[in-house]
Amino acid sequence: MSRRPHQIAILGTGYVGLGTAALLAHLGHHVTGIDVDVCKIEQLQRAEIPIYEPGLEKLLLSNTSQLTWTTDFSAVQQADTIFICVGTPPSADGTPDLQFLQTAVASLAPYLGRKQQIIVNKSTVPIGTGDLVVRLLEDLAPEFDASVHYVVSNPEFLREGSALEDSLYPDRIVLGGLDTALDHMISVYAPLIEQSFTPPASAPRPERYTRPAVVRTTLQSAEMIKYAANAFLALKVSFANEIAGLCEHVGADIEEVTTGIGLDSRIGHRFLQAGLGWGGSCFGKDTQGLISAGREHAYAMPILQAAIDVNARQRQMVINKLLRHLRTMKGKRIGVLGMAFKPNTDDLRDAPAYTLIQRLAELGAVVTAHDPVAMARAEREWSHLKYSSAVNAAQVFQRADAVIIATEWDEYRQLDWEALVATMRRPLIIDSRNLLRHPLTAQVEQVGRELKGTIGAAL
Ligand SMILES: NC(=O)c1ccc[n+]([C@@H]2O[C@H](COP(=O)([O-])OP(=O)(O)OC[C@H]3O[C@@H](n4cnc5c(N)ncnc54)[C@H](O)[C@@H]3O)[C@@H](O)[C@H]2O)c1
């Protein structure tokens, strides 16, 4: 495989763009990150990382000689590989909004030259978007030539919170497009495919990891693989939650049940944790995106719709549990532990905590919320919600009528729960992430199980 360093341009320096930039720079390529957000680019130029992602800052800083940040799209001229990593948020009807992608293509188009350049779609986009990008380039790029400019679909599978490990040691690399373009992509990813790079100290190679599978396919199949993968994972989560609800009725323990079923190698344990359901920028958007693609063809997708409905029900389940204990929310002090949609990220998009805080405030509760990293971001992005930020986790317990565990941050496991519960007005914990391992001197509600054992034992 070719070892030459590639000249890479990355359009969009969000969670995916920055992860991709860090990965490709670490593989030895020269990377230019381009974004329309001037503040973000200025931060990156000052070596400040605009998002929270474990290990990312270190990896970017250790590869600064390979990295350039700019708002100037003319940097595309030098690139042989141009990654599009812009957001594709859902529109009101659930279809992915492609305006950022279309603008990015329009911005890069004038700078395509006469040499071979591969335009790689990493954003999650509806099936057929690869063809749309080709058509836009035909219309907007004066030098567009279908014999040297190729569009590839290379969906991203990283998870926020473990983006580095997912990027450096992926299960598979999916590449959709024509053979010439896919051969080029294999040369870009050669050190990753062969695992010939030196693992960074912040993300050592897992012991039993060998190398990623490479899936070569068509544009359309690659685009579909991303949606189908996310939809399947979302189904697994909702399935566990549906079974958990029934466990509560019949007295079974969801964790013992998922352990029992997960040992079947056809099923596996991952994504079977019962709790508050999924959030974040992907599962909700991508399940809705597939349903809306089906709708275009008058093709119903009832399984996916059910997964979405069960996910919404999990958020309501927390409110129902509170109401069962407290009768009314009016004047009740409710503490919320965790705001990010999952631990180890500051991402607040479609966070379950948002729905909970909004609903509790509507019902008249006084809400105090805490998050180890996402509070500052929440103060900017959730400024329309009625809640106060806690100075520390302990503050959400003070004189509270109930505390909800909404995100399973590790540091919440380390809290002195007995001491904190003693500061509550009414000791009621809604552990919607099944984080607690032992009973407390408090009423504790978990999802699909009851806490057993000695009160106050260490977590
Ligand atoms: N976040 C994830 O965990 C994840 C995982 C897999 C796939 N994806 C997909 O990857 C894509 C990007 O997601 P993200 O979470 O990184 O989004 P993000 O919102 O964090 O980042 C998008 C970036 O694109 C920039 N941008 C917008 N318009 C632009 C333009 N015209 N030119 C250049 N930059 C522009 C924005 O300023 C922003 O910095 C989405 O399609 C998403 O579905 C995300």
- Confidence bin at 4 (pLDDT 50/70/90): confident
Is position 342 annotated in a ligand binding site?
yes
Tell me: the pLDDT tens digits for 124-138? Answer: 999 999 999 999 999
Q: What is the mean pLDDT of residues 59-82?
A: 97
In the chain, helix, strand, coil percent, each to 5? 40, 15, 45
40 marked as part of a ligand binding site: yes
Is 31 near ligand 1, meaning CB less than 6 Å away? Answer: no
Q: Would residue 85 show up in a list of annotated catalytic residues for this protein?
A: no
Model confidence pLDDT, tens digit, residues 400-422: 999 999 999 999 999 999 999 99
What is the signed CA dihedral for 418, 421, 426, 428, rounded to 10 degrees? -80
Identify the CATH number of the domain defined by range 225-459.
3.40.50.720
In which band, very low, low, confident or very high, does the pLDDT at 184 lie, cut at 50, 70 and 90? very high
Domain ranges of the chain: 7-217, 225-459
Looking at the predicted structure, is the pLDDT value of residue 208 above 90? yes
Residue 453 has pLDDT above 80, yes or no: no
CATH topology of domain 7-217: Rossmann fold (3.40.50)
The predicted structure's pLDDT at residue 457: 61
Pairwise CA distance, residues 325 & 272, whole Å: 28
Q: Residue 456 corresponds to which tokens in the numbers above?
A: 């106050």
Confidence of residue 452 (pLDDT cuts 50, 70, 90): confident
pLDDT given for residue 456 in this prediction? 60
pLDDT tens-digit readout, 387-404: 999 999 999 999 999 999
- Confidence check: pLDDT of 1 > 60: no
pLDDT in tens, 367-382: 999 999 999 999 999 9
108 CA to centre of ligand 1 in angstroms: 16
Ligand 1 pocket member 17 (CB < 6 A):
yes
CA 373 to chain centre: 16
Question: Does ligand 1 have an atom closer than 6 angstroms to the CB of 289?
Answer: no
Q: Is 391 exposed, middle or buried (0-12, 13-18, 19+ CB in 10 A)?
A: exposed
The helix/strand/coil state of 129 is helix
Q: How far is the CA of 123 from the centre of ligand 1 (A)?
A: 7
Question: Would you say the CB of residue 20 lies under 6 angstroms from ligand 1?
Answer: no
- Give residue-wise pLDDT tens across range 236-255: 999 999 999 999 999 999 99
pLDDT band at 202 (very low <50, low <70, confident <90, very high): confident
Same-fold call for 7-217 versus 225-459: yes
